[in-house]
Structures are given as structure tokens and as C-alpha cells.
Copies of this chain bind each other. A is one copy, B any other.
Amino acid sequence: MGISKTEIFTDQQNEISLFAKVFGHPARVAILQHLFKIDACICGDLVAEIGLSQPTISQHLKELKHLGLIKGSVEGTRVCYCIDAKNWSKMKLIILEFLNQDISIKEECC
């Protein structure tokens, strides 16, 4: 029905999928990569950098901010975005634990 049955899954499973979902769009991947690359606050030129309209970029930024992965600070008429390093680290721990499940696997089965 287009709606996920989150209630039948564990909090951990839902948390993993929420983080993964935000990385599930190339625009958000590109935004994060650009914020890391310039290694400083960037004000708004993400719209020029990535080829999407201003409202669309704003919407993607909103989702990233909602998960706490980026921070935005108002500077005059501009808004300055950057990575939230602490929350990024927390997210990394959660995703890494999921990705590293394979280290306990003994052998191929099929």
C-alpha cells in the first residue's frame, strides 16, 4: 500500500532503513559529498553545483537536516549548511554494524 509496516520490525531495523533511505537518492549523496569536499560551510550554491531546482535542493536538505546529518545556520539572507560530525559518526556506527555482519560468516552455502 505504499506504506511500510514499521511496527513489525525492531527499532534497530527501522533505524538502519531510515538512514539508508536518505542515502537512497543520488542528489542527497551528491550534497553530502560536496559538503565534505569543501570542508567548510557552504551557503546555498548547492543549487548551482547540482543540477536541480532550488525548491528541490531545499527539500533534500530538509530531509538530511531532519535526520541530523547536516546543520544549517542562518547568515543574513543566506543559510550555511555543513555536516554534523557527531551525528555522522553515530550513523556510521549503526550502518557499519549492519554492513559488517558478514565477518562472522564461515562459508558459502549455495
Contact = CB atoms under 8 A, between A and B. Distances in A.
Interface of A: 4-6, 8-10, 13-14, 16-18, 20-30, 32-33, 36, 39-41, 50-52, 71-73, 80-83, 85, 88-89, 92, 95-96, 98-102, 104-106, 108-110
Nearest to A18: B24
| Of listed A6, A100, A109, residue having the most chain B CB within 10 A | A109
Given A9-B30, A30-B9, A92-B99, A110 B23 contact: no
Given A23-B20, A29-B13, A52 B108 contact: no
A36 B27 CA distance: 31
A96 B73 CA distance: 29
**Residue among A17, A26, A100 with the highest chain B CB neighbour number at 10 A:** A26
Nearest to A23: B20
